[in-house]
Structure 1
Amino acid sequence: MTSLSTKLAALEETGKPINVGLIGAGKFGSMFVSQSHRTVGMRLAAIADLDPKRALASLKRVNVPEGGYDTSASLPLDEALKQGKTAITTDSSAMIATPGIDVILECTGNPAAGVRHALLCCQHKKHIVMVNVEADVLAGPLLTRKAKEAGVIYSMAYGDQPALIAELVDWARTAGFDVVCAGKGTKHLPEYHYSTPDTVWSHYGFTKEQLATGDFNPQMFNSFLDGTKSALEMAAVANGCDLSPPVNGLGFPPCGVHDLPEVLKPQSDNGQLEKSGTVEVVSCLEIDGRPVFNDLRWGVYVVIKAPGEYQRDCFAQYGLKTDSTGWYAAQYKPYHLIGLELGISVTNIMVRGEPTGQCKTFAADVVATAKRDLKAGEKLDGEGGFMVYGKLMTAESSLAIHGLPIGLAHGIVLKRDVRQDQGLSWHDVEYSDKNQVVAVRKEMEALFRRELMEKKNGGTVSNWRERSRI
């Protein structure tokens, strides 16, 4: 099999490198920028960011040669493309519409922006790598379908944990194994659900010098700490790999890599899972705050089960770390490099015509859940803020309670009180169906509510219209 790097080199030799447009020059985007000029067969054609100075600062900070980009941030997009320089623009829509750009990287982290950009990519026939997991969980199952209809590829971002987990799941299934559990590691304690941007740094241990670099957004980092980002990433994995979320949300069991197959097996076999075929996140901290030995804080994993005695014997013969019975085993990757690895998604799309992970169904959702008692009239401050965290649940459960997705829990006003730890619903907030992202989300909910009813009715739509009126 020809390697991706060889295929990229061939594109370079023929003078047809892949042209990439980046939206969002934050941490993830900057990490990609740092590698883009080093990658043979790939060009960073343009960066779209609301703040051109931030884009220029990103290029300088990661040591992109000045001759490779428009230092004035004033060249028209098409002219910069002709000159082989990275253009800087504030107009993401114009960048997406620019002929000659092959792949768009959506790195804003803003759910509404992510949905808008994905729809524009469908309109202008541009492939899209959705780094923005918030947008992916909010509407990814529908956006994937729209992209397919438009003849473009919608992909998870390689280097980010969901795509790496999807790769491990694909490895397991391709090798003929059933997937028992898949997920990642993180730093979590139960009380972290109530962390705010004011308390986040006390839990991370970053130095003042690190924080001063400008790469560290307290609300974004708090979304990792309070469990929201883990819930979003596991929803993406469940939707992309046809796995189930835990019924009561993520458990975050303390677990080191040596114990993955012991802890992450069904309760029927003395593990902690409700059932096989699920997702879970393991914590690098014991409940009392002590560090877990040989933790997987930065990594990803998949747990498999030997289908028979012969395979179980092979596990032992080749030194695989298993549970005490020898039936369950784990494979894992201890680290992920997010934006530094993102070029693999771009290349995979352009030379193999395949995504690096992609939503297949609507199996899981992340519902905004109150961090404290909330009062009518308050305006929600979104993911990682002071008011709500995201809780993973099955899509069916979310639809049943008309759950408010965490991706829309920003800038909207509560119209009634909500108790601490209560999941919010559409009925709790003021919203407008005319808002694009709300309309897209409502379209997705209606589509999958109908498909769920069809499935329950044996593939027919009998009684669905009647039930939908209730």
Structure 2
Amino acid sequence: MSLFSQLKRRAQQGRPVRVGLIGAGKFGSMYLSQAPRTPGIHLVAVADLSPDRARGSLRRVGWDEARFTAAGMEDAARAGTTFVTDDADAMIASPHVDIVIDATGSPAAGIHHALLACEHRKHIVMVNVEADVLAGPLLARRAAEAGIVYSMASGDQPALIAELVDWARTIGLEVICAGKGTKYLPAYHASTPDTVWGHYGFSEEQVAGGDFNAQMFNSFLDGTKSALEMAAVANACGLTPPLDGLAFPACGVDDLPSLLRPVADGGILANRGTVEVISSLERDTRPVFRDLRWGVYAVFEAPSRYVQDCFAQYGLKTDSTGRYAATYKPYHLIGLELGISVASIACRGEATGDTTEWRGDVAATAKRALRAGERLDGEGGFTVYGKLMPATDALRQDALPIGLAHNMVLKNDVPAGRAVRWSDVAYDADSEAIRVRREMEALFRGELGLAEPARKVA
């Protein structure tokens, strides 16, 4: 039975899926716009650090005021309305919520909410790719132990890529490369919140009229978000990150099978089964023909001459050998598609992409020469960007993950382009997020047989 049919049945039976959303920013607002239009869904509560901001989001996406005036979660559950609160912990603990969506974008908050979801046995949709890359491999294990579903968010590119990879593998095709498109030039790695809108081409009026955050949008531009998303894909799909970070080759959809194939066959890939992000701009800033800026793709290989002939017979665009072909989805609608994750968990007990191992990590990398005493300002800021690398390399280098590179003070100078190391920063070892991350590092270091990195004696 289709998800929509199952949701309609739940609505008819008076047992809707009870959802709690944390974070009413852009992604959360897009989901809010669709939740009332979907049968069998009851958004019991919206938690945000600013309830007034959450109410403003509800109004902006078209909610009638009477739908979100509940005095509490019990009142909302009984009346079929929505409670707006600043207490996410209480919402997760509530018996009136079945599925929790973390759309905060804060790595520390995401880890905290996921651990609480495990404690209270609530399924969780982790929109928060920052938290997923920082500690997802450990959180996924905790969720499995608790008997809950820990899921990527449909509509966001990692989940859509995972869907393409799963499709290819399920029908017997080897995935050679998978990833997404974006707008990229090498100079973007140095972009800051002061320069971001010029790179996007947004006017002051557009920025003033929307729910835009300069540092968040800069993380999309400077390579950090792409690195995070490809690390999440690597961890969910068992793919391998490039050894020296993402290359961001300029590539249109017609050239996917020719460019993203092994070097030995005329492509650019050092390894099979990898991730990569393609740019919608040539290096001289000319637009790429038939770019995939908003979409996702997977490149796969015909396992036999017969399948190769089938590719040709059914019109697949292939490389010159006919062996490599690609499929792609030209757009993603982020929060507008999030209901697929909610329905999949509630109706099928299945995640829409889930972390299975630790293969990719994202290291905080200096945008410029940094000096001891400077304070790091995190993802999309002025000091560091996130660089994708294999998790084993991150462990060997003792690299500081980008998800923790906020408000830490440097103890040492860090040259431009080098990963910041744990030994370069002062940090609070008792912080929940740091504790969980260090626990994950120790666990996987042991499983992978890696030695502890040498540390300088103060």
TM-score of the aligned structures, taking structure 2 as reference length: 0.98
**Counterparts of 1:180-191 in structure 2 under 5 Å?**
180-191=176-187
- Render the CA deviation track for 1:14-62: whole Å, top value 9, x for unaligned: 0000011000000000000000000000011111001111101111101
- 2:202 counterpart letter in structure 1: F
Structure 2: which 5+ residue stretches go unaligned? Answer: none
Task: Quote the Cα distance in structure 1 between the aligned partners of 2:414 and 2:205.
Answer: 39
- The answer as to whether partners of 2:396 and 2:453 remain within 8 angstroms in 1 is no
Q: Is 1:129 aligned to 2:125, yes or no?
A: yes
- Give how far 1:226 is off: 0.2
Note if 1:37 corresponds to 2:31. Answer: no
- Counterpart of 1:163? 159
User: 1:469 offset after TM fit, Å?
Assistant: 8.7
| 1:376 maps onto 2:372 in alignment | yes
Q: Deviations over 1:398-427 (max 9, x none)?
A: 000111000000011100100000101100
Q: Give CA-to-partner distance per residue, 1:189-238, whole Å, 9 cap, x none.
A: 01100000000000112233321134110100000000000000000000
Q: Which residue of 1 aligns with 2:429?
A: 433
Distance in 2, Cα, partners of 1:161 & 1:76: 34
* 1:151-200 Cα deviation digits (max 9, x unpaired): 11110000000000000000000000000000000000011000000000
Of the three residues 411, 415, 423, the one matched with 2:419 is 423
- 1:391-430 to 2 correspondences below 5 Å: 391-430=387-426
**Corresponding position of 2:237:** 241
Does 1:449 pair with 2:448?
no
Partner of 2:172: 176
1:321 pairs with one of 291, 312, 317? 317
After superposition, give the CA deviation of every residue in 1:325-347 in whole Å (9 maximum; x if it has no partner): 11100000000000000010011
The aligned residue for residue 287 of structure 1 is 283
Name the CA shift for 1:420/1:468 in 2 (closer, same or farther; >3 Å).
Answer: closer
CA distance in 2, matches of 1:431, 1:238: 28
CA distance in 2 between counterparts of 1:183 and 1:250 reads 10
Letter in structure 1 aligned against 2:346: M
Q: Distance in 2 between matches of 1:214 and 1:56?
A: 16
The equivalent residue for 1:82 is 78
Partner of 1:216: 212
Alpha-carbon distance in 1 for matches of 2:18, 2:161: 27
SS class of match (1:108): coil
Shift of the alpha carbon at 1:433?
Answer: 1.5
Aligned to 1:458: none
Structure 2 CA distance for partners of 1:371 and 1:449, relative to 1, 3 Å: same
TM superposition shift of 1:468: 4.5
Residue in structure 1 matched with residue 363 of structure 2 by the alignment: 367
CA RMSD of aligned residues (A): 1.0
Matched, 1:311 2:333: no
Q: What residue number does 1:63 align with?
A: 62
Using structure 1 for the length normalisation, give the TM-score: 0.95
The structure 1 residue matched to 2:296, chosen from 278, 296, 300, is 300
AA aligned opposite 2:209: T
Q: Secondary structure at the match of 1:165?
A: helix
Cα gap change, 1:82 to 1:204, in 2 (>3 Å): same
Checking the alignment, whether the CA contact within 8 Å between 2:73 and 2:96 is kept in structure 1 is: no
- Give the letter aligned to residue 165 of structure 1: I
**Deviations, residues 373-395 of structure 1 (Å, cap 9, x unaligned):** 10111110000000000000000
SS in 1 for 2:20: strand
Opposite residue 41 of structure 2, the aligned amino acid is M
Secondary structure of the corresponding residue to residue 37 of structure 1: helix
Distance 1:215 1:469, change over 3 A: closer
For residues 204 and 81 of structure 2, what CA distance do their matches in structure 1 show? 35
The question of 1:150 aligning with 2:146 is answered: yes
Instruction: State which of 170, 187, 197 in structure 1 corresponds to 2:193.
Output: 197
User: Alpha-carbon deviations, 1:41-95, whole Å to 9, x = none?
Assistant: 001111100111110111110101223211xxx7122222222111000011011
Question: Are the structure 2 counterparts of residues 360 and 417 from structure 1 closer, same or farther at C-alpha, using a change threshold of 3 Å?
Answer: same
Query: What's the secondary structure of 2:8's corresponding residue?
Result: helix
**Following the alignment from structure 1 to structure 2, what is the Cα–Cα distance between the partners of residues 20 and 189?**
40
> 2-side partners of 1:338 and 1:308: how far apart?
36
Q: Structure 2: how far apart are the matches of 1:401 and 1:257?
A: 36
Aligned-partner Cα distance in 2 for 1:432–1:26: 28
Separation of aligned partners in 2, 1:65 and 1:57: 11
The alignment of Structure 1 onto Structure 2 pairs a total of residues equal to 454
- The secondary structure found in structure 2 opposite 1:286 is coil
Q: Which runs of 5+ in 1 are unaligned?
A: 454-463
CA distance in 2, matches of 1:401, 1:190: 24
Q: SS state of the match for residue 443, structure 1?
A: helix
SS class of match (2:38): coil
State whether residues 180 and 278 of structure 2, in contact with CA within 8 Å, keep that contact through their aligned partners in structure 1: yes
